[in-house]
């Protein structure tokens, strides 16, 4: 089963779980969802009405935790740890994995020093083990570890949930990409048309050469025939 299909099934599961719970009972659902080793998207759970209703209540901390995992990073948690519940080890791991995805959204070359700072990792060996075992092996990123340059070259990274207000900029980016793609397609079509035209001209020229060769052959054959006839007269 590929990661997208697994994600979809898990999202459906936790959406259904959240839909039938209210108040503090949602806490265990949210902890389970944010601890699950194969779930990395949470916007659908955030959109569940019972979850949204937590805002402004005595249980709003559960909503804040879910928002953290949807859009935040390990650094965000450390900055707000006083007002948030202590994370269980599986949540800590998940949030650090999500932090790598956030960094990979803006940079395709991630310096080891930046990664170690963002992930609270103390040495290169620990960092590389984390990137290999907890990120690449899991399938959320692909890339190359460059020990000489002390960086991680990102080749692929799974996308995170869109942050509030991010949809507009993404639509704008996709629109620009679509425009560029259309222009590129037009350019390719023009080159194909030019190549077809040149091919037709080449075929026409080749036909003309072949016709000339044939005319020369006929002329030589006729001349040879006349010479033989004159010689025998």
At 168, the pLDDT band (50, 70, 90 cuts) reads: low
Q: How far is CA 57 from CA 22, 53, 82, 98, in A?
A: 11, 8, 18, 27
Helix and strand numbers, DSSP H then E, in the chain: 10, 3
At 156, the pLDDT band (50, 70, 90 cuts) reads: very high
Q: Tell me whether residue 149 is exposed, middle or buried, using C-beta atoms within 10 angstroms of its C-beta: 0 to 12, 13 to 18, 19 or more.
A: exposed
What is the mean pLDDT of the segment spanning 21-50?
A: 95
Distance, in Å, from the CA atom of 138 to the CA atom of 116, rounded to the nearest integer, reads: 20
- pTM (2 d.p.): 0.72
* pLDDT tens per residue, range 18-31: 999 999 999 999 99
Distance, in Å, from the CA atom of 79 to the CA atom of 145, rounded to the nearest integer, reads: 29
pLDDT given for residue 165 in this prediction: 64
pLDDT given for residue 72 in this prediction: 96
What is the mean pLDDT of the segment spanning 144-172?
A: 82
* pLDDT tens per residue, range 79-124: 999 999 999 999 999 999 999 999 999 899 999 999 999 999 999 9
Contact predicate 168/157, CB 8 Å: no
């Amino acid at each position: 089963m590929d990661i997208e299909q697994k994600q979809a099934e898990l999202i459906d599961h936790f959406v259904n779980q959240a839909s039938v719970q209210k108040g503090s009972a949602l806490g265990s659902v949210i902890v389970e969802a944010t601890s699950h080793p194969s779930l990395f998207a949470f916007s659908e759970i955030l959109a569940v009405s019972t979850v949204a209703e937590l805002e402004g209540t005595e249980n709003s901390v559960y909503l804040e935790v879910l928002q953290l995992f949807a859009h935040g990073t390990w650094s965000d948690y450390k900055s707000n740890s006083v007002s948030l519940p202590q994370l269980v080890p599986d949540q800590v791991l998940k949030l650090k994995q999500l932090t790598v995805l956030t960094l990979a959204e803006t940079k395709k070359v991630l310096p080891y020093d930046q990664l170690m700072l963002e992930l609270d990792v103390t040495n290169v060996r620990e960092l590389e083990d984390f990137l290999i075992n907890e990120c690449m092996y899991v399938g959320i990123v692909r890339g190359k570890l460059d020990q000489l340059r002390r960086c991680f070259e990102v080749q692929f990274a799974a996308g995170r949930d869109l942050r509030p207000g991010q949809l507009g900029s993404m639509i704008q980016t996709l629109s620009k990409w679509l425009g560029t793609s259309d222009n590129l397609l037009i350019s390719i079509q023009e080159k194909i048309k030019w190549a077809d035209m040149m091919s037709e001209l080449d075929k026409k020229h080749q036909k003309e050469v072949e016709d000339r060769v044939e005319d020369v052959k006929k002329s030589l054959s006729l001349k040879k025939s006349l010479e033989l006839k004159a010689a025998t007269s």
